[in-house]
Structure 1
Amino acid sequence: MHLTQVAPYVSYPPRLGGDHRTHGLVKEFPQFGDTVERFCQGGSPAMYKSLDFRRQVTISKRYTEFRHLHPFHEILKAPMLVGYPNLFQGHVLKIASDGLDDMLERADVVLAREPWQTPYVLEQIDQDTPVILSSHNVEAERFGDIRQPLFENWVESRVEQMEKRSVEGSDAIVCTSERDAEIYRDRYDPGGPIFIAPNGTYKESLRDHRPDSKQAKRVRSDYDIPQKATVCLFMGSNYKPNIEAAKSIIELSRGFGGEQVQFIIMGSVGKALTSADTPENLTITGYVEDGFEAHFDASDIALNPMQSGGGTNIKLIDYFARSLPVISTPFGIRGLNIDREAVAVAELSKFPTAIEELRTARDRRKSIGRKGREVAAENYTWEESSRFLRKSIIEAVGPF
């Protein structure tokens, strides 16, 4: 099988949740002798910051990422910085898509991420070549939940139109959960089958929690966190639902005086937070690359205080993979089939009580963390989702 994947920006190496899904869903295909070519419409902040201007990256044998870097792509991404979708992405492809048409011509099947580029793909593709919509969220729901200061009604209407065209025009859809699939069926008229390939973690990330490691102790020392304190971790990218959640962590930290309970907010979400009035028991790290794994080990409890957003939370599975016990809102575990022994569920207002209960119950923390890792290993790995998607594509629109 020759699969062409269309993505809105550079995705490898994966840094954000969307990058991991883009890469994770296809990472196993080359193991079966398939060819994967990914067209990326523009760069990413991390790519430009690292001065990595390669136009072609070989990820593995028969798996290549092609990067079309063009000023138009970057200019029209500007609204995304303040929470708007890239509604003009498909339009730009009509004037700046060098190489994409050839990749579509070579494809046995096309996997197009989200509804922003999919309408263009549907217009350009040969009718005999199946197109699979790769959904990361129900976008109409996601942007319906996020209030925009300007053009709100127009944005919501346009998102609805583009998603409807993508869902109904594609030959199949792959989404994160049965919940999202049901919304698509209720809201639109899908043009083909819907595959459920959950968000996940990489098998190599599944491991024990290592709170006594030298690296974990160094993280605490670097942030002046007492070794005996209970550390609560939240991580996220610079994305409105994550910003909302991170702000709730800041307020939560104010309710814990002294040094006994400390909080860490890790990830690019820190860019959106004001550090001037940060409580003494809260550390905002920003994006972390060196020592990333050690931050999980330096923490005792992971927090998932999500109140809005679409899809399912990749961060939750990442916590599970490192055997960290998680406290989550009910919204934070939406769309996931998770045994309540693997996560402590509480409304946001009850997080202080949940933290107090867990921090003094070491055995229960270990039990929840162990169960969470088992859930991730059994049901939520990218390797399993990738193999499932490949099998589903072949059965639905193959053979190739």
Structure 2
Amino acid sequence: MKKILVLNHFPTIWPPTSGGTLRYFYLYKELSHYFDITLLSQSHEHKGGLFQFSPTFREYKVQKDPQYNELTIDSHSRKSSYEIELIKHFELTKQPSSYRKHFKYFYEKSDLIIHESPYLLNYDVYLGLDQKPRIYNSHNHEYTLASQIWKNEYARKYLPALNKLEKKLVTYADLVFATSEAERDDFISVYRINPKKVKLAPNGIHPKPKVRYKKKKNSRPSAFFIGAEYPPNMEAAEFIIHHLAQKCPDIDFKIAGGCCTPFSNIRKANVTLLGRVPHNQKLRLFNEADIAVNPMFTGAGTNLKTLEFLSEGIPLFSTQHGVRGLNLIHSKHYIHADKEDFADKINRTVRDKKLLKYLSYQGQKYVYAKFSWSHIAKSIREEIQKLSF
């Protein structure tokens, strides 16, 4: 069985709850049926060391290097921690860190190297010098995403370096996986690479048909949103709190995840900020929601929370950006809403039980057919097996 080493700047979490960790864990869990997989992750607050998930699937979490905290990037970094944290990962690759030592150890035992992002590329000192294939399994087109959402002026000075790093990765990679056709086209046009080596590996779900929770008659409709502490999610949470909640006074909005952090002191009668929630509570919230709202206005890749909402059979109201790359049909799989008419769309249709039931059925049916992790992993395996290694 061929051995694959996967490099990532964040670790898995069990059970995975947010977009990045969902993709990272479940995709490689499915691929471990065909290959021997080792994830080499950068751990933060979580315990480091080796975690064995199955005989062919494991993760080594490298605890945060002491040098990480010693890096001084910008005196205003606390105002923009998202991009500053990524820049720190990039800067640490230039130093003799713990992650570098662990990479060299696992590299010797591996037949193929996969990069989940460009930020750790400089650890791969053998890139272009050996015969081992490289794959870029992108979560996003990172340069395009950073150009959209990085606000810190100092951080934006790193954009040319990020562009150069990602260009190097896609140039040397034998395969590049993109999460949607739009992302695939973007990689090809921006970096002028051979279209034949850029394939699709969309985000996915685990199909699990279920009967949805039945609410009591005459109870107030509830709308749900969940998102990690990530700028596009925080922008969506702010829109819900300051716009939707005011214009939809008869709807109870529940928001979960790290995206709640900047708004912890806000109190509104029809908004409940839950913060980070355990997996079982997340499933209960899915079960109890009448609708899901996804007012995304920025971001790249495809939106995993959209797939989660639909797979759980929750009728979805979303901007086009929230369903990007999924080819969903308005009024069949979801209700399309723009910033200007989002509240009106909710108010007009939230009590239309027939329509909501139809959306629930069609949306769930669609994602089960198109976006199961097992189906995606089989497609990736077929592309990997075409490589010489």
- TM-score where L is the length of structure 2: 0.90
Task: Choose from 53, 58, 64 the match for 1:59.
Answer: 53
Within-5 A mapping of 1:93-172: 93=93, 94-96=95-97, 97-121=100-124, 123-124=126-127, 126-172=129-175
Within-5 A mapping of 1:170-249: 170-190=173-193, 193-204=197-208, 206-212=209-215, 228-249=219-240
Q: Distance in 1 between matches of 2:49 and 2:205?
A: 27
- Residue 346 (structure 2) pairs with residue 355 (structure 1): yes
The 1:152–1:71 alpha-carbon spacing in structure 2 relative to 1, beyond 3 Å, is closer
- Please report how far the alpha carbon of residue 152 of structure 1 lies from its aligned counterpart in structure 2 after TM superposition: 4.8
- Residue 86 (structure 2) pairs with residue 82 (structure 1): no
Task: Choose from 16, 19, 36 the match for 2:18.
Answer: 16
Q: Distance in 1 between matches of 2:49 and 2:167?
A: 32
Task: Choose from 50, 71, 79 the match for 2:66.
Answer: 71
- What is the DSSP-based 3-state SS (H/G/I as helix, E as strand, rest coil) of the residue aligned with 1:27? helix
Within-5 A mapping of 1:375-394: 375-394=366-385
Q: Distance in 2 between matches of 1:194 and 1:231?
A: 41
Q: Distance in 2 between matches of 1:2 and 1:103?
A: 10
Which residue identity is paired with 2:309?
Y
- Please report how far the alpha carbon of residue 98 of structure 1 lies from its aligned counterpart in structure 2 after TM superposition: 2.5
Which residue identity is paired with 1:320?
L
- Which runs of 5 or more residues in structure 2 are unaligned? none
Q: Distance in 2 between matches of 1:375 and 1:77?
A: 47
Give the corresponding residue for 1:263: 253
Q: Distance in 1 between matches of 2:146 and 2:298?
A: 10
Which residue identity is paired with 2:320?
P
Task: Choose from 250, 271, 281 the match for 1:282.
Answer: 271
Q: Distance in 2 between matches of 1:263 and 1:335?
A: 26
Which residue identity is paired with 2:81?
V
Q: Distance in 2 between matches of 1:373 and 1:190?
A: 36
The 1:227–1:269 alpha-carbon spacing in structure 2 relative to 1, beyond 3 Å, is farther
Task: Kindly report the root-mean-square deviation, in angstroms, between the aligned alpha carbons of the 2 structures.
Answer: 2.3
Which residue identity is paired with 2:38?
E
- Please report how far the alpha carbon of residue 320 of structure 1 lies from its aligned counterpart in structure 2 after TM superposition: 0.5
- Please report how far the alpha carbon of residue 117 of structure 1 lies from its aligned counterpart in structure 2 after TM superposition: 1.2
- Please report how far the alpha carbon of residue 295 of structure 1 lies from its aligned counterpart in structure 2 after TM superposition: 0.4
Which residue identity is paired with 1:377?
Y
Query: Does the aligned pair in 2 maintain the 1:312–1:335 contact within 8 Å?
Result: yes
- Please report how far the alpha carbon of residue 91 of structure 1 lies from its aligned counterpart in structure 2 after TM superposition: 4.7
CA deviations over 1:175-218 (Å, ceiling 9, x no partner): 111100100111003366012011111234x5342234xxxx8x
Q: Distance in 2 between matches of 1:148 and 1:352?
A: 28
Q: Distance in 1 between matches of 2:125 and 2:310?
A: 38
- Please report how far the alpha carbon of residue 309 of structure 1 lies from its aligned counterpart in structure 2 after TM superposition: 0.9
Q: Distance in 1 between matches of 2:264 and 2:105?
A: 46
CA deviations over 1:231-277 (Å, ceiling 9, x no partner): 011110110010000000012101233xx31101111111121433x
- Which runs of 5 or more residues in structure 1 are unaligned? 48-52, 218-225
CA deviations over 1:318-362 (Å, ceiling 9, x no partner): 000110000010111111122331011011221112112221210
Q: Distance in 1 between matches of 2:48 and 2:89?
A: 21
- Please report how far the alpha carbon of residue 122 of structure 1 lies from its aligned counterpart in structure 2 after TM superposition: 5.7
Query: Does the aligned pair in 2 maintain the 1:208–1:322 contact within 8 Å?
Result: no
- Please report how far the alpha carbon of residue 114 of structure 1 lies from its aligned counterpart in structure 2 after TM superposition: 0.6
Q: Which moved more, 1:114-123 or 1:367-376?
A: 114-123
Which residue identity is paired with 2:11?
V
CA deviations over 1:276-297 (Å, ceiling 9, x no partner): 3x22011000111142211012
Q: Distance in 1 between matches of 2:11 and 2:20?
A: 11
Query: Does the aligned pair in 1 maintain the 2:139–2:301 contact within 8 Å?
Result: yes
Q: Distance in 2 between matches of 1:76 and 1:24?
A: 33
Q: Distance in 2 between matches of 1:334 and 1:56?
A: 36
Which residue identity is paired with 1:244?
E
Aligned length: 374
Give the corresponding residue for 1:5: 6
CA deviations over 1:31-88 (Å, ceiling 9, x no partner): 23x21011112x134x2xxxxx240100112111011112234655995962216234
Give the corresponding residue for 1:314: 304
Q: Distance in 2 between matches of 1:342 and 1:75?
A: 49
